[in-house]
Amino acid sequence: MALIANRHVNPNVDTPNANSPGGGPPYAPANFHNAYNLPTTASGTPTVAIVDAYNDPNLASDLATYRSQWGLPACTTSSGCLKIVNQSGGSSLPRNNASWGVEESLDLDMVSAICENCHILLVEASSSSLANLGTAVNEAVKLGAVAVSNSYGTGEFSSESSYCSSYYAHNNVAVTASSGDSGPGVNFPAVCSTVIGVGGTTLNSNGTETAWNTSSTEGAGGGCSAYISKPSWENSSVTGCSGRAVSDVSADADPNTGAYVYDSYGEGGWLEVGGTSESSPIIAAVFALAGNVSSTTYPASLPWSNYSSGCLFEVGGVRYAYQTGLGSPDGTGCF
Instruction: For 213-262, write each residue's pLDDT tens digit.
Output: 998 889 999 999 999 999 999 999 999 999 999 999 999 999 999 999 99
User: Looking at residues 280-299, what average pLDDT do you find?
Assistant: 97
Between vectors from CA 82 to CA 28 and to CA 102, what angle results, nearest 5°?
Answer: 55
Q: Which CATH class is domain 4-329?
A: alpha beta
Which pLDDT score is estimated for 27? 95
Q: What ranges do the domains of the chain cover?
A: 4-329
Q: Is the pLDDT of residue 179 over 80?
A: yes
The residue type found at 113 is: A
Tell me the C-alpha to C-alpha distance, in Å, between residue 306 and each of 41, 258, 311, 330.
Answer: 22, 28, 7, 12
Using alpha carbons only, how large is the chain's radius of gyration in Å? 17
Instruction: Label residues 162-198 b or e (16+ Cβ within 10 Å = b).
Output: ebbeebbbbeebbbbbbbbbbbbebbbbbbbbbbbbb
All residues at 6 or more sequence positions from 159 whose CB lies less than 8 Å from its CB, including other chains: none
Interstrand relation of 174-178 and 196-203 (parallel, antiparallel or unpaired) = parallel
pTM, rounded to two decimals = 0.96
